[in-house]
């Protein structure tokens, strides 16, 4: 199993018609997520690794696993860099 991602507990969120707005008060930033990004964010609960999230997305959104995997890894890395996600120990 790979690295688990977990939402940063200091980030607030608001749900609007299947999409999520993230409110990062520490950096005075608001991030609006589309439907797919919102689903990834929701699955970053510390119990799914990136490949499992990609598998779930490929089934839910009818895209190839490889496409979903690339999108999940790219999005996750961006959120990690912004401090919106935290990762547990493990290997990719």
How many Å apart are CA 75 and CA 31, to the nearest integer? 13
The string of pLDDT tens digits covering residues 5-39 is: 999 999 999 998 878 999 999 889 999 999 999 99
Domain spanning 4-87 has what CATH number? 1.10.10.1150
Q: What is the pLDDT at residue 26?
A: 87
Q: What is the pLDDT at residue 91?
A: 40
The string of pLDDT tens digits covering residues 34-73 is: 999 999 999 999 999 999 999 999 999 999 999 999 999 9
In angstroms, the Cα distances linking 58 to 29, 71, 85 are 30, 11, 22
Neighbours of 80 (CB within 10 A): 16
């Amino acid at each position: 199993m790979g690295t688990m991602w977990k939402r940063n507990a200091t980030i607030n969120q608001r749900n609007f018609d299947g999409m999520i707005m993230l409110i990062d008060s520490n950096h005075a930033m608001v991030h609006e997520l589309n439907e797919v990004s919102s689903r990834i964010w929701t699955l970053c609960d510390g119990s799914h690794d990136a490949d499992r999230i990609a598998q779930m997305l490929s089934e839910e959104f009818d895209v190839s696993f490889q496409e979903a995997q690339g999108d999940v890894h790219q999005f996750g890395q961006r959120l990690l860099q912004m401090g919106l996600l935290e990762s547990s120990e493990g290997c990719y």
